[in-house]
């Protein structure tokens, strides 16, 4: 019996992300950032928050063979400018860490996603996904 065409198994970190997936995740991030600016509510209460978390999974940024720890999150939440030079795999792990632990509280009592919105880290991720030429086929 063959595997079903629709499954819940995560992808491998060795699986490439298609350009459309990267572009779509960047769009979901833009929508979350815009909604967070427009609404006076915690980001995790916005529908765009759930779309970002689910989109990270659907777009191949949550991998079954990557353990997610604070080490993938904390450096970029403390110094978001590091994302400007991070490799694709580091950015992917950062997105995964945000997506799999959206309710984890940071030191200030907020969610990591709220911190990544506030400090510009998610904006940097979206920009790099759209503009980083080294990550794309010619």
Q: Which residues contact 129 (CB under 8 A, 6 or more apart)?
A: 22, 23, 25, 26, 29, 91, 135
How far lies 90's CA from each of 4, 26, 33, 35, in Å?
A: 31, 16, 21, 26
Q: Pick from 132, 110, 124: which is nearest to 49 by CA?
A: 110
Residue 102, pLDDT score: 56
User: Poorest-confidence range of 15-19, 31-35, 125-129?
Assistant: 15-19
Give the burial string for 25-62 (b: 16+ CB within 10 Å, else e): bbebbbbbbebbeeeeeebeebebbebbbebbbebbbb
Tell which wins on pLDDT, 57 or 71: 57
Residue 1, pLDDT score: 59
Scan for tokens 């991998």, then name that residue. 63
Tell me the pTM.
0.89
User: Poorest-confidence range of 39-43, 51-55, 58-62?
Assistant: 39-43
CB atoms within 10 A of CB 8: 6
* Integer Cα distance of 74 and 35 in angstroms: 24
Residue 108, pLDDT score: 59
Tell which wins on pLDDT, 125 or 133: 125
CB atoms within 10 A of CB 71: 10
Q: Please determine, for residue 30, whether its predicted confidence score (pLDDT) is greater than 60.
A: yes
């Amino acid at each position: 019996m063959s595997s079903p065409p629709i499954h819940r198994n995560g992808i491998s970190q060795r699986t490439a992300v298609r350009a459309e997936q990267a572009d779509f995740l960047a769009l979901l991030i833009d929508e979350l950032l815009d909604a967070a600016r427009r609404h006076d509510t915690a980001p995790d209460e916005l529908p765009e928050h759930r779309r970002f978390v689910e989109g990270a999974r659907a777009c191949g940024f949550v991998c079954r063979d990557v353990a997610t720890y604070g080490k993938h999150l904390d450096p970029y939440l403390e110094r978001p400018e590091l994302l400007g030079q991070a490799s694709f795999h580091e950015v992917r792990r950062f997105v995964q860490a945000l997506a799999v632990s959206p309710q984890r509280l940071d030191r200030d009592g907020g969610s990591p996603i709220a911190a990544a919105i506030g400090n510009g880290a998610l904006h940097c991720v979206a920009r790099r996904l759209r503009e980083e030429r080294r990550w794309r086929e010619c």
